[in-house]
Amino acid sequence: MEIPKWIKVKELIGFVEDPVNFVAVLPLEEIVEVLKSDGWKTVSYGYDAYLGDKTPIHSMEKPLPGAGVLIRLHIRLWSNGVIIGNIHLDIPSMDSFMRLSPHEAVHDVGKAYVAYVFMRSGYDVELIYLGNATKTNDGYAVKIYKRSDRI
């Protein structure tokens, strides 16, 4: 199975690409429950994001305590035989302000945090190389699965 590498995100001045950095061999409901148990909540707002021509099947966020509404962990999920998506930490920055974007997406931080949440919940986690490196993504995706579901 080929895993897509990029998600297109519509910003005020056009599209940017976010790397696919999350792969889960789990049902969507199970992913949502694990994240909810860690304080995440389902959201329906935000910029339009597309994998091919499809919008996410689910989006969630975890605002960080004391950091205000602009700093949060954010995940968008699609189904492609497995659940794939993008997880990142949203942080306002001067670069994002100059692009007319509300935040900078720090992908490696979001990926590491979600890997920790699933490991703590008893799931197996590994990194798979997708070659989609950016300033804030090392080109790897975190893969979440139960040991019996290895692909």
Domains held by the chain: number: 1
Strands across the sheet containing 14-19: 14-19, 6-11, 49-50
Which tokens hold the place of 9? 């995100």
- The pLDDT score that the predictor gives to residue 125 is 97
Stated pTM of the model: 0.87
Distances (CA, A) of 94 to 14, 68, 111, 120, 135: 18, 17, 23, 35, 15
- The pLDDT score that the predictor gives to residue 69 is 55
Greatest Cα-to-Cα distance within the chain, rounded to the nearest angstrom: 47
Give the integer Cα–Cα distance in Å for 151 and 85: 17
Pairing between strand 22-24 and 140-145? parallel
Per-residue pLDDT of 60-112, as tens digits, reads 999 887 655 568 899 999 998 899 999 988 876 556 544 445 556 788 999 99
Which residues span the domain enclosing 133?
6-149
Position 1 in a domain: no
